[in-house]
């Protein structure tokens, strides 16, 4: 009963009440941390857009692409070109993404074998090691991986991620967004997040807003994420990401999510997890409302690339860093670059491997 009362109480908060509460929470931080907003300078390597899931809101999925846009398997030559450009532009993080289990498709498996790889995971591991050898810090987000694979890849990633999105079972019913998406089952996603905690992997998760969930659903999921972090203390950040409509996708809600609901969710997230987990907002999805999000306690703008696009929302370009700096400064904040692993996890025992540490120590003294 108390839990239900707490959820309903949070849902009823006004934006004014939320802003007051998050100011109190931020004031609990050391003075030099209260007014810092962070971002990571990264670039994206989309290894494959073949995916076992067929989410009705997804534009990255191979089923949505023209023949020229399909990525069966991203070529190593192209990866090396991206790496060269990334070095020129002083990127530190390499975001590795793909559809889930792409090697379940014969065309991907055939391409992997032609390059000497038994499966997609072997290729993923090879790419992570290649990136580290060139002083990039990988952050992998490729869908569900079992415990054994997570254990193998941990040493070659600074951090990893998997969006919870929503744990609501009704989203799997006929006509809903996850009807054809077995990999989005909440039990599998929660298992993945737990396994990352057991293995002490610095982790990113989050919610996808506007896909058929309610505010009450979001608050319940935020408490779920908090509970997972209370047990394992491994979640670095919660992304509050809003659905953006795109051409030709099947999902077309009659009433798209309003910006006020996104702002309120971000503020409630801060109230729930306080300063134990950072709250992240993708800045290209909330253009023009950055000030409002700063006022409800967000901590981070996530990965921003100077030359690769947002593969999930390709029609939403990344903002210029200098533009965000000016907005932050006007609101009394300082925008600072960070690495894909937050400082407190650098200091925690067993959260980083020697391979990651070697690259990270170089960058700790060279953040611009």
Judge whether residue 12 has pLDDT over 80: yes
Split at pLDDT 50, 70, 90, the class of 363 is confident
Q: What is the pTM of this model?
A: 0.97
Mean pLDDT on 249-277: 96
Average pLDDT, the chain: 96
What angle do the packed helices 215-232 and 259-273 form, to 10 degrees? 30
Residues 208 and 163: beta-carbon distance below 8 Å: yes
- pLDDT tens, position by position, 126-185: 999 999 999 999 999 999 999 999 999 999 999 999 999 999 999 999 999 999 999 999
The pLDDT-based confidence of 1 (bands split at 50, 70, 90) is low
Q: Specify the residue for token string 């009433």.
A: 255
Tell which CATH architecture fits domain 2-244+256-364. Answer: Alpha-Beta Barrel (3.20)
Domain boundaries, the chain: 2-244+256-364
Find where tokens 């309903």 sit.
Answer: 8
Q: Is the pLDDT of residue 368 over 70?
A: no
**pLDDT of 66 above 90:** no
Split at pLDDT 50, 70, 90, the class of 365 is low
d(CA 267, CA 19): 7
Q: From CA 61, how far away is CA 13, in angstroms rounded?
A: 37
The predicted structure's pLDDT at residue 314: 95
Burial 327-357 (b: 16+ CB within 10 A, else e): bbeeeebebeebbbbbeebbeeeebbeebbe
- What whole-number distance in Å separates Cα of residue 11 and Cα of residue 67? 45
Tens of pLDDT along 95-138? 999 999 999 999 999 999 999 999 999 999 999 999 999 999 99
Average pLDDT estimate for 41-50: 98
Give the pLDDT band of residue 361 (cuts 50, 70, 90): confident
Instruction: Give residue 366's pLDDT.
Output: 60
19 — pLDDT class (breaks 50, 70, 90)? very high
Residue 367, pLDDT score: 54
pLDDT digits over 289-316, tens only?
999 999 999 999 999 999 999 999 999 9
């Amino acid at each position: 009963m108390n839990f239900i009362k707490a959820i309903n109480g949070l849902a009823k908060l006004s934006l004014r009440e939320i802003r007051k509460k998050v100011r109190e929470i931020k004031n609990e931080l050391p003075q030099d941390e209260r007014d810092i907003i962070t971002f990571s300078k990264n670039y994206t390597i989309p290894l494959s857009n073949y995916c076992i899931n067929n989410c009705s809101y997804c534009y990255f999925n191979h089923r949505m692409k023209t023949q020229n846009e399909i990525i069966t398997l991203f070529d190593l030559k192209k990866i090396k070109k991206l790496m060269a450009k990334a070095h020129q532009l002083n990127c530190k993080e390499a975001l590795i993404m793909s559809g889930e289990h792409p090697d379940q498709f014969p065309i991907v498996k055939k391409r992997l074998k032609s390059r000497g790889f038994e499966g997609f995971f072997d290729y993923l591991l090879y790419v992570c090691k290649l990136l580290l050898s060139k002083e990039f810090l990988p952050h992998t987000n490729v869908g569900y991986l079992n415990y054994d694979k997570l254990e193998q890849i941990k040493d070659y990633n600074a951090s990893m991620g998997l969006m919870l999105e929503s744990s609501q079972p009704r989203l799997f019913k006929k006509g809903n967004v996850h009807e054809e998406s077995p990999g989005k089952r909440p039990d599998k996603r929660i298992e993945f997040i737990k396994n990352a905690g057991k293995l002490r992997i610095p982790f990113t998760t989050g919610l996808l807003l506007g896909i058929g969930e309610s505010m009450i659903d979001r608050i319940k999921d935020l408490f779920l994420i908090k509970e997972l972090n209370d047990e394992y203390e491994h979640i670095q950040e919660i992304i509050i990401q809003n659905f953006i409509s795109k051409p030709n996708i099947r999902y077309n809600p009659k009433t798209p999510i309003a910006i006020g609901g996104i702002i309120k969710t971000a503020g409630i997230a801060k109230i729930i997890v306080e300063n134990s987990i950072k709250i992240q907002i993708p800045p290209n999805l909330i253009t023009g409302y950055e000030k409002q999000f700063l006022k409800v306690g967000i901590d981070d703008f996530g990965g921003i690339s100077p030359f690769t696009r947002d593969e999930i929302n390709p029609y939403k370009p990344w903002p210029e860093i200098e533009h965000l700096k000016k907005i932050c400064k006007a609101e009394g904040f300082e925008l600072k670059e960070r690495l894909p692993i937050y400082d407190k996890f650098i200091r925690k025992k067993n959260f980083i491997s020697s391979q990651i540490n070697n690259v990270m120590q170089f960058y700790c003294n060279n953040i611009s």
